[in-house]
Amino acid sequence: MQKLTIDWIKDNGLLVFEVITGSRSYGLDTPSSDTDIKGVFVLPKNMFYGLEYTAQVNNDSNDIVYYELKRFMELLSKSNPNILEMLNVPDKCVLQKHPIMNMLQPEMFISKQCEQSFANYAFTQIKKAYGLEKKIVNPVEEERKSVLDFCFVYEDAAVPLKKYLEEKRLDPNKIGLAVIAHLRDCYNLYYSGELNYSGVVKKDNANDVSLSSIPKGEKPVAMLYFNKDAYSIYCKQYKEYWDWVAKRNEQRYDTTMLHGKKYDSKNMMHVFRLLLMAKEIAVEGKINVFRHDRDFLLAIKEGKFEYDELVQKAEALKNELPLLYQRSNLMNEPDVEAINELLVKMRAAYYLKF
């Protein structure tokens, strides 16, 4: 089977639409802005009719994304903001447009459905912005904790296992553990320099304590509690944090640290862009990709507002939308049957010529 790539699609003349999207289409670009490109391609007949259907192709950096015509129309019918924007970018951002794309009118996809699709997408950006704040305020140390850090020993009082071992001068590899019935994550702790116990854990990177075979008649010296729930939460947080460190956009992170507001201001800028676009759709009946509120949006990106202030403003703006959409003359949702008919005509026209 042929593996579809960006280059293969372009080399074989399958690309029917290509536009510059993102900050450059919004008029919000700065000297350091990347160039994001989205496009639409049509699969060759043998791939479309066979088992090789591919809905989407992107490059490694994900700044170039092409959608197969069917997938593109499907996302349009669901009022996907990123896809709707492709049909409404400024003319200077259109890099390529095949004649079959002229059969498609943007008005077919503007409906009251945009209220939820734009607003919901906007509020996912708020969550992303806040997620970054939590990571900045609560960094996780690079040296990973072990099971032993979440174990506590009760003798006369509860003490951390590591402290207990240090005070008693005990070797953790000579400890034996046995389950205590009806007490979750609690174990009788045995110690012997002679018996071959398994130790608290079998290896340093173990995710659970190790149980030993305890000879009959042996008496425990203490009770051990392994806070397994806390350990599981820590492991998840550790992985999320260091995955984020490995993948984060350093330029955006540096911007966040520079303005000192501890939230992703670029995400918050897009929250307001999306909400304002949603409002314009209800009032004007069109999608304004190019922004005339550049100064306000860039002020958000530069961290000139407090996070809580922006959340309040965003919620107020979102609360305006239901009444605006109720009063609008927009159709309730796109006509899926008409979109399907159009898709068939577009594909047939493409295959007829090529």
83-94 pLDDT, tens digit per residue, is 999 999 999 999
Q: Which residues of the chain have pLDDT under 70?
A: 1, 127-138, 247-262, 354
Burial letters for 179-205: b for 16+ Cβ neighbours within 10 Å, e otherwise?
eeeeeebbbbbbbeeeeebbbbbeeee
pLDDT attached to residue 245: 73
Residues linked to residue 18 through DSSP beta bridges, in sequence order: 39, 96
How many alpha carbons lie under 13 Å from residue 194 in its C-beta half-sphere?
2
Number of H helices, E strands in the chain: 13, 10
pLDDT attached to residue 265: 82
Chain centroid offset of residue 232 CA: 22
Domain ranges of the chain: 1-106+332-354, 147-229
Residue 36, H or E segment:
strand 36-41
* Closest-CA residue to 28 (of 263, 281, 279, 300): 300
pLDDT attached to residue 257: 47
Cβ(286)–Cβ(114) below 8 Å:
no
Angle at 105 between CA 99 and CA 108, to 5 degrees: 150
Residue 102, Ramachandran bin (φ over 0: left; ψ between -120 and 50: alpha; else beta): alpha
CA dihedral 19, 8, 100, 21 (to 10 degrees): -10
pLDDT attached to residue 90: 96
pLDDT digits (tens, 9 = 90+) for 99-134: 999 999 999 999 999 999 998 888 777 766 555 545
pLDDT attached to residue 129: 58
SS3 11: helix
